[in-house]
Structure 1
Amino acid sequence: MKEKPENPFSPPSFSSEKMRPLLLFCFLSLLSLLPRPGSATDALTADQSLVNNQTLLSAGQIFELGFFTPGKSGNWYLGIWYRNIPERTYVWVANRDDPIRNPSAAALRIANGTLVLLPDQRANTNPVWSANRTASENPVAQLLDSGNLVLRDPTQSGRILWQSFDYPTDTLLPGMKLGWDLTARFNRFLNSWAAPDNPGTGKFSFKLNYTGFPEVFLFDSSSIEYRSGPWNGLRFSGVPEMQPLNYISFEFVTASREVYYSFHVSSDTIYSRLSVTPDGVLRRYTWIPDIGQWKPFWYAPKDQCDSYRECGAYGICDSNASPVCKCMRGFRPRNPEAWNLRDGSGGCARETDLDCPRDKFLRMRNMKLPESAAAVVDRGLGLKECGELCAGNCSCTAYASANVSGGGSGCVVWFGGLVDMRQYPEGGQDLYVRLAASDVGNDGTMGGFIIGLSVGLCVFLLLLSGCLVWKRKRLISAFRGQKNDHKVRRLGLPERSQDFMLNDVVISSKRDYSGERNVDELELPLYDFETMAVATGNFSDDNKLGQGGFGVVYKGRLLEVEGQEVAVKRLSRNSGQGSEEFKNEVKLIAKLQHRNLVRLMGCCIEMDEKMLIYEYMENRSLDSIIFSKSKSKLLNWERRFNIICGIARGLLYLHQDSRFRIIHRDLKASNILLDGEWTPKISDFGMARIFGSDQTEANTRRVVGTYGYMSPEYAMDGLFSIKSDVFSFGVLVIEIVTGKKNRGFYNPNDELNLLGHCWKLWKEGKGLELLDAAVGNVYSACEVLRCIQVGLLCVQERAEDRPTMGSVVLMLNSETATMPQPRTPGFCVGRSPLETDSSSGKQDVTFTVNQVTCTMLDAR
């Protein structure tokens, strides 16, 4: 039979043997396109399971979801962590209270329209965790780049049915809401881990209370530990340091359907998170790739005044005061005995009964608003209408603006007692408190009587001013007659204003610190040389208060400021403090505001004359009292302890709470000034250094400071940090307790200096023998020993062993704080014979470590 020719245009025919390889290739290709758990996929479908050693990875590879076991616990959990951060940081845990024992059998899958975690996928077991939300069709689980695990309904354009952001554990991420969904009556809050290696529900929680004027509370179980204060439009009123940055912004929403707090980060390279730690501390961290570690950004509670109701009803807490609790005007301690023992929890009571409607309102500035759960808010009223509303209701005890942004708006009023208030040096907001008219005083108007009195006073002041001007001209004329040579030098001054000269001195400082202001913004008065000469009686020796390494300090009286007493520091022309040190002192002190730092009131710059004008301290410097046999009795133990605590708070401000991190570098007894109430104030910032926010230490070739107060690493290697100041503070504490200088020797046998002598007695259990006999018999033995232990901790030889000033303040003010045992102090070596060449003919000499000579050392 003749074979039919093949049609070239007909489709080809294949046998089954030829088709089999092609079908196998197509099947494998299609299979490879399906999403597989454990690969770089961000989603989980209804026909897939996620098992151990497999993870979901967000599209941008920022977050990862999978099984993990914390530490050495042996328990397994399903959680989310940062993908590209070497330090494993978990942000969410599904089964935090139901750990898995056998991870190899567990699986995450979608069953019955919801997301479930099965402890054993091979058996018919109940899930240990479930999303508890179902969809009409097969949903899809997806891990987003925000760290949010969502369950979507594909039949409704991917609508989110459930999300992990609604069920946070201990961490708040950008875009996550902390607060209430009022429609569903659903609360989102943080709960700490039970322990660092146990993600179970801990006892600390951070929750928003939406009633009244909403604010957030930190709870220890059911007990309130810390309160943020209500949101005032810019920040929480109890967090004055809360400022929006270039890359982070804060949001607070109060609406009929929801009330929540959230924050947002604009940079993809910076991560930020807010967490509640297992020990009950709120901490915000930021991760900066260039540094490669989590950097602490903010934390709370940070001091005694952050403790809830520290000063009770109508009490005001001020961390810069000692004691920290005070009663506002018109109130007295409810329990004076407890108050004197530094327990202000009983609060304050009114001294004068209210007499509505004749009561008045006292304006209190820089306040953390009182607890506001029972407050009433009307956002449609202004401050004036708010005051009228409160004045017309005799039950209203205080009022304030609900929103301080844009000049202020809204009204919030309180009824009943005012609790958990705090006053800040700056920040916070105005609070108006109802008082009896007699307690407010003459803050209101008194009609024609005040007008007449004002006119009379004006006439009197004009006459007095004329007399003072006439007298000042006579003094200046007399001075110019005696100082013709100085006048000639000044006449050669180039034609440029003194203001411009001062700008050269101050504005040449670093500009890379945000918030630094120029001289005009600082409003620092600039005085001429003649004014200072008149103020000090032509720099008379009778007005000389003291003399240091950089010049002489005189007592003066400024006629321009109603004869106010001041201290004038006149730098000697050949002193070591030149323009750089002068820049430092003006630049730093003018910007520092703290009750334990000396206040700069002005300066004088004229040719080679440089002067600083400070507030006058009635009790001079600490060294003039503490080391004087005749005057040391003025400092009883209570005053000494308050001085120690005040210096510690001032240093804490410099190291941590001021806008710049400042290292003083010359902390000593002569640089601690005492006002009329014996409040200590740190002075002399000529040698201070500014650190960046992320800088911890620096090195210098020029070692400056005072023997006996310099830390070993600074004196020997020129390495200084905040721990250098901590060492100096420790020496100062021991000097205040003992009344002795850390120079010379206090044990005739061992020839130990003060630190060595203190260390020896401490180890022998004889710490109380160190107390200055001038104190007398009235003192707290526990406080004395606590101060000695703190002092020894601060002067430990290794810088890393010394505490920070934050820890020091806590240890000084808490009788229950756990304190480590100190190690060997630095600079406590006794004298040793120095071997010399026998041919020298010289006798043996003795030395101490304090007397070592360093290259480029400028000791004062």
Structure 2
Amino acid sequence: MATKFTWSMNRKAIKFPKSNSIPQKMEKLTIIFFIFIFSLWSPYLSLVTDIITSTTPLTVDQTLVSSGQVFELGFFDPGNGNWYIGIWYKQIKPKTYVWVANRDSPITSSSGKLTIGDSRNIILVNQAETAVWRSNISVPVGNTVAQLLDSGNFVLRLENDENPENYVWESFKNPTDTLLPGMKLGWDRKTGVNRFLQSWKTSNDPGDPGSGEYSFKMNIDGFPEIFLFTGMKTRYRSGPWNGKRFSGVPEMKTVSLIDFAFQDNADEVSYSFTMKNSSVYSRLVMSSSGLLQRFIWVESSHTWNQFWFAPRDQCDEYKKCGPFGVCDANASPICKCMKGFRPKNQQAWDLRDGSDGCVRSSEMDCGSDGFLLQKNMKLPESSKTYVDRGLSLSECGEICRRNCSCVAYANTDITGSGSGCVIWVVDLLDMRQYADSEGGQDLYVRGAISDLVGTSKTHSDHNDVKIISVAVGVCAVIMILLILSYLWRKKMQFSKNSTNDRRGLDERSHDFMMNEGFMVPSKRHHSGETTTDELELPLFDFTTLVIATDNFSDANKLGQGGFGCVYKGTLTGGHVVAVKRLSKTSGQGIDELKNEVRLIAKLQHRNLVRLLGCCIEVEEKLLVYEYMENKSLNTFLFDIEDSARLDWQKRFDIIFGIARGLLYLHQDSRLRIIHRDLKASNILLDKEMNPKISDFGMARIFGGDQTEAETKKVVGTHGYMSPEYAMDGIFSIKSDVFSFGVLVLEIVTGKKNKSFYYASKQLNLIGHIWNLWKEDNVLELIDESIRAEFSKDEVLRSIHIGLLCVQENAEDRPNMSKVLLMLSSDVINLPQPKYPGFVVGKRCYEKGSLSNQDESLTMNALTSTILVGR
């Protein structure tokens, strides 16, 4: 490349006097010599400029730098031998890529160049001078240049026209996986182009910037909102813009650093954001893990902090509770039906599957129908709605009342006293209710006159409707009281008779009524405790579970542990479940069972196993779970043949899923839960190998401000317990983090921590990995079944995170939010791990009384003595 230089001093060109004296000639020759040498090296020096032209192209050894040194553009090889043109932050290390030009058309050698072509477009050519990517737009007459701006926007413009309104082409209008401040996401109505985010294929290092399967895209039909897709399948939606925020993103109202904007006019339907302080960096990323993530750069710690992400919980899953169903993450179960509706599939509903939704339970009469006010709602899916932004709420209600097809209505804008009208004439889908004033907005749903008694009325209700409502309500109350009185008498008679008739039950048995195989319990358990109030779950009849499991036959046995056995069962109707039958000799008893039921019944997360019900009859104690087709993680991980089914990507997904489940337990659920028995056998895998944490019999609830607790009865499993817990009985969220770290190391190596034995140095798995880490030779221990194909940097990062989690001192270990951030981002610098806990050999374990116990079993016998000073 020819480079033009002008040597200057005090902004004046150097002029040589006409004198022919020898010193002056020598000065001339010296300057000429240095110019000659510099010109020879110039092709190998970075081009410190922000512009390329047709005569000054960009080659692999050069970069463009924006004028304020904010962004840099150049070639990069993520490590897979392919070259791409990308933009990254100039001052942030390691590189954080925000845009890739040729993401699906890489060049395979380092001899490509980026230039202005004959058509005056930006063009990328490979070593054969063949174009592999271009801006591909109609260019007005005139010379063009390409410039990198401090906003991160890479623009094509006329050489002498810097007006942003006249840019010929912009990278901001062609996003990849990242939305930067000032970028717009959505439809350009002038060009018909939909600007959306699409993930990388992989985010690991080396990564693949190619177009991945996840996208975040605006739907402009009806009341515009943004959807997150996996391929063509909807996974999450933002809810429509209500003038302040997206109705399904309540967190937006608490963000003080960012100004959000939504435009819906003749030119565009778009969403964008700007930073109130331009020195603060933020980006919205559609990650290759399927999460939409907002990051903020924290200068003090030199890390990207995950500020927000979606989907966050089960209620963010699209249509989680089906048509007319409402999801409430603060309730248990999370799906509920609005007043005037009932579950469409009651059996599935009782099993915590609300996907079939709700149907009306009351007869409708268009002439007298009213509207039920649902507060703090994420508005239903809005692509098939009628929108008129000029109407008031009362006018909107009146239109909806007169139209018998109208199902619901709401304001389009909630600023001030509210304005605009949106009307639904189809089934209401993907609704969610938030806590008071937390998020959402008012939604008015059509209801029968009988359902309006005692509820808030809409603007269109009439006095005669109110009178009729009161009359109908009084009659309904009287009828309900009569029915309840009759049922109560029948129940007492049935209870009295059943005491003598039931075989195998003595006077301690509790009353019940049979309903399609489920036990509907009376208010009091035989012990005097309130079973229904405590358990909040369906109770199964023992006979039902005996039939479902073929009398607990060995052919249906899924596994066995210290608690007893787990069986596969098929209920009436074909629903497959897993039945955990506690052994009569198990250390776990009624207290552990009740503890598990109390906890897991209140928890809802994709990475926690669902508890469907229980059965407590005399000496029988059983729990009924959702069925996991692939059993537990240890059945694959530690088996030579089955471990081959766990390729590296599956293993990393399992690690990531376990981390998300633990984060929910520690931070995002209504209760702060410490699991205390996290291990490979307690990680169950569904048919798609998604991990789910199970067995909450040993778990404990922490208060909102509680950080640790102490016990004299240490429970858990050798090899997974943290030092402070095993030795002193002190447990906290960092105890679970230690167990998670052991799991990570086991998943990477395919070896058990307890049973691994490195003879020459008397080390367990943690100790051996620690030594190999210090020797920079840790890859020699990875599972042989994944050595043929794995991501070296991703494996190293996982081991690094595992060692951080098993550090000896609890305060040194990261919490799970930090762990998840480290797993999901390859741009964060990880701290060096300190000495791990429990680096001991097999002989040390054999000294204990529990040395012969199977490591897959839960240990309930270990007791710790706590010394108290007098």
Match of 1:637 among 623, 629, 634: 623
Q: 1:657: which partner in 2?
A: 668
- Is contact 1:325-1:344 (8 Å) kept? yes
Is it true that 1:151 corresponds to 2:156 in the alignment? Answer: yes
TM score, norm. by length of structure 1: 0.56
**Normalization by structure 2: what TM-score?**
0.55
Aligned to 1:189: 196
Call closer, same or farther: CA 1:178–1:28 in 2, change over 3 Å.
farther
Offset, 1:664:
7.9
Q: CA deviation at 1:262?
A: 0.9
How many angstroms apart in 2 are the aligned matches of 1:663 and 1:349?
35
Q: What per-residue deviation string (whole Å, max 9, x for no partner) do you get for residues 320-352 of structure 1?
A: 444433322222233334444443322222223
Partner of 1:546: none
2:249 is the counterpart of 1:242? no
Q: In structure 1, what is the Cα distance between the partners aligned to 2:592 and 2:213?
A: 48
Instruction: Give runs of aligned pairs for residues 664-743 of structure 1, distance below 5 A.
Output: 688-689=705-706, 704-705=710-711, 707-708=713-714, 712-715=722-725, 716=727, 722-724=733-735
Q: Residues 498-549 of structure 1: CA distance to partner in whole angstroms, max 9, x if unpaired? A: xxxxxxxxxxxxxxxxxxxxxxxxxxxxxxxxxxxxxxxxxxxxxxxxxxxx
SS in 1 for 2:407: strand
Matches within 5 A, 1:155-304: 155-158=160-163, 159-196=166-203, 197-304=207-314
Name the residue aligned to 2:505: none
Question: SS at 2:172's partner residue?
Answer: helix
- Paired with 1:416 and 1:131, the residues of 2 have a C-alpha distance of 42
**Which of 383, 401, 419 matches 1:373?**
383
| Aligned-partner SS, 2:399 | helix
The equivalences for 1:771-850 within 5 A come to 832=848, 850=862
Question: 2:60 matched to which residue of 1?
Answer: 52
Distance 1:282 1:184 in 2: 27
> Are the aligned partners of 1:664 and 1:689 in contact in 2 as well (CA < 8 Å)?
no
Q: Give the conservation status (yes or no) of the 8 Å contact 2:324–2:431.
A: yes
Counterpart of 2:137 (choices 132, 152, 170) is 132
Among 56, 74, 90, which residue is 1:66 paired with? 74
The separation in 1 between residues aligned to 2:148 and 2:326, in whole angstroms, is 47
Amino acid paired to 1:291: S
User: Relative to structure 1, is the Cα distance of residues 803 and 401 closer, same or farther in structure 2, using a 3 angstrom cutoff?
Assistant: same
Shift of residue 206, structure 1, vs aligned partner: 0.8
C-alpha spacing 1:332/1:82, structure 2 compared with 1 (3 Å):
same
Instruction: Report 1:424-823 matches (<5 A).
Output: 424-425=434-435, 426-443=438-455, 446-447=466-467, 637-638=623-624, 655-657=666-668, 688-689=705-706, 704-705=710-711, 707-708=713-714, 712-715=722-725, 716=727, 722-724=733-735
The CA distance in 2 between the partners of 1:114 and 1:30, in whole Å, is: 33
Distance between the aligned counterparts of 2:426 and 2:60, measured in 1?
57
Q: Is the 8 A contact 2:57 2:113 kept in 1?
A: no
Shift of 1:293: 1.6
- Per the TM alignment, residue 15 of structure 1 is displaced from its structure 2 partner at its CA by 8.8
SS at match of 1:284: strand
Q: CA deviation at 1:244?
A: 4.3
SS in 1 for 2:424: strand
Following TM superposition, by how much is the alpha carbon of 1:153 offset from its aligned partner in structure 2, in angstroms?
1.5
Aligned equivalent of 1:7: none
Distance 1:649 1:29, change over 3 A: closer
Asked whether 1:350 is paired with 2:367, we answer no
What amino acid is aligned across from residue 136 of structure 1 in structure 2? V
> Residue 712 of structure 2 contacts residue 729 of structure 2 at CA under 8 Å; is this kept in 1?
no
Is the contact between residue 714 and residue 863 of structure 2 (CA under 8 Å) also seen in structure 1?
Answer: no
Are residues 806 and 226 of structure 1, via their aligned partners in 2, closer, same or farther at CA, if it must alter by over 3 Å?
farther
Compared CA separation, residues 632 and 217, structure 1 to 2 (3 A) = farther
Cα drift, residue 77 of structure 1: 0.7
Would the alpha carbon gap of residues 684 and 432 (structure 1) be closer, same or farther in structure 2, given more than 3 Å must change?
same
CA positional deviation for 1:372: 0.3
Note the alpha carbon deviations across 1:86-114, whole angstroms, 9 max, x for none. Answer: 12221111111111012224343454322
Q: What is the one-letter code of the residue matched to 1:152? A: R
Q: Deviations over 1:43-98 (max 9, x none)?
A: 11332110011000111212111011113x11111111112221222111111111
Question: 1 or 2 for the larger relative contact order (CA 8 Å, sep ≥6)?
Answer: 2
The 3 A distance-change label for structure 1 pair 59 and 723 is: same
CA deviation profile, 1:347-383 (whole Å, cap 9, x unmatched): 2222233211211111112221100011122223332
Aligned partner of 1:414 among 400, 406, 424: 424
Distance 1:717 1:61 in 2: 53
**Would the alpha carbon gap of residues 416 and 706 (structure 1) be closer, same or farther in structure 2, given more than 3 Å must change?**
farther
Judging changes above 3 Å, is the alpha-carbon distance between structure 1 residues 833 and 327 closer, same or farther for their aligned structure 2 residues?
A: closer
Give the match for residue 107 of structure 2: 100
Which shows bigger deviation, 15-24 or 309-318? 15-24
Tell me if the contact between 2:224 and 2:383 (Cα under 8 Å) persists in the aligned partners. Answer: yes
Q: How far apart are the structure 2 equivalents of 1:396 and 1:219?
A: 29
Tell whether the 8 Å contact from 1:38 to 1:50 is kept in structure 2 after alignment. no
**1:610 is matched with which residue?**
none
Partner Cα separation in structure 2 for residue 147 and residue 106 of structure 1: 20
Mapped partners of 2:375, 2:368: distance in 1: 23
For structure 2, list consecutive stretches of 5 or more residues without a partner in the other structure. 1-15, 458-464, 475-529, 531-589, 599-614, 628-658, 678-695, 741-801, 821-836, 851-858
For residues 108 and 739 of structure 2, what CA distance do their matches in structure 1 show?
54
In the alignment, which residue of structure 2 is the partner of 1:844? none
Aligned pair count? 566
Supply the AA of the counterpart residue of 2:623: W
Change (3 A) 1:117 1:212: same
Over 3 Å counting, the alpha-carbon distance change for 1:714 and 1:408 in structure 2 is farther
For the residue of structure 1 that corresponds to 2:229, the secondary structure is: strand
Counterpart of 2:13 in structure 1 is: none
Cα deviation, 1:392-432, whole Å, max 9, x if unaligned, reads: 21111001121223243222111111111122234222211
SS of the counterpart of 2:251? coil
Kept in 2: contact 1:269–1:288 (CA 8 A): no
Q: What is the DSSP-based 3-state SS (H/G/I as helix, E as strand, rest coil) of the residue aligned with 1:655?
A: helix
Distance 1:105 1:94, change over 3 A: closer
User: 1:351 and 1:634 mapped to 2: Cα distance?
Assistant: 38
Look up the equivalent residue of 2:733 and give its one-letter code: I
Query: 3-state DSSP class of the match of 1:390?
Result: helix
Q: CA 1:100 to 1:245, structure 2 compared with 1: closer, same or farther past 3 Å?
A: same
1:273·1:285 contact (CA, 8 Å) conserved in 2? yes
Q: 438-447 or 369-378: which moved more?
A: 438-447
Structure 1 residue 364 corresponds to structure 2 residue 364: no
Change in Cα spacing, 1:726 to 1:105, as seen in structure 2 (3 Å) is closer
In 2, distance between residues paired with 1:390 and 1:87? Answer: 56
Q: 1:88 maps to what in 2? A: 95
Structure 2 residue identity aligned to 1:194: K
Structure 1 gap segments, 5+ residues each: 1-11, 455-554, 556-618, 642-647, 668-678, 691-699, 730-792, 809-822, 835-846
Change (3 A) 1:797 1:638: farther
Q: Cα distance 1:807–1:61, how it changes in 2: closer, same or farther (>3 A)?
A: closer
Task: Give the Cα–Cα distance (whole angstroms) in 1 for the partners of residues 868 and 470 of structure 2.
Answer: 65
Q: Residues 142 and 687 of structure 1: is their aligned pair in 2 closer, same or farther, counting only changes over 3 Å?
A: closer
Q: Could you tell me which residue of structure 2 aligns to residue 503 of structure 1?
A: none
Cα 1:42–1:829 change in 2 (3 A) is same
> Which residue, 406, 409, 415 being the options, matches 1:399?
409
> The residue matched to 1:386 in structure 2 has which SS?
helix
Q: Distance in 1 between matches of 2:676 and 2:174?
A: 52
Change (3 A) 1:24 1:188: farther
Q: Report the alpha carbon displacement of residue 41 of structure 1 after superposing the two structures with TM.
A: 1.2
How far the C-alpha of 1:709 sits from its partner, in A, is: 5.9
Residues 333 and 40 of structure 1: is their aligned pair in 2 closer, same or farther, counting only changes over 3 Å? same
Query: Secondary structure in 2 aligned to 1:242?
Result: helix
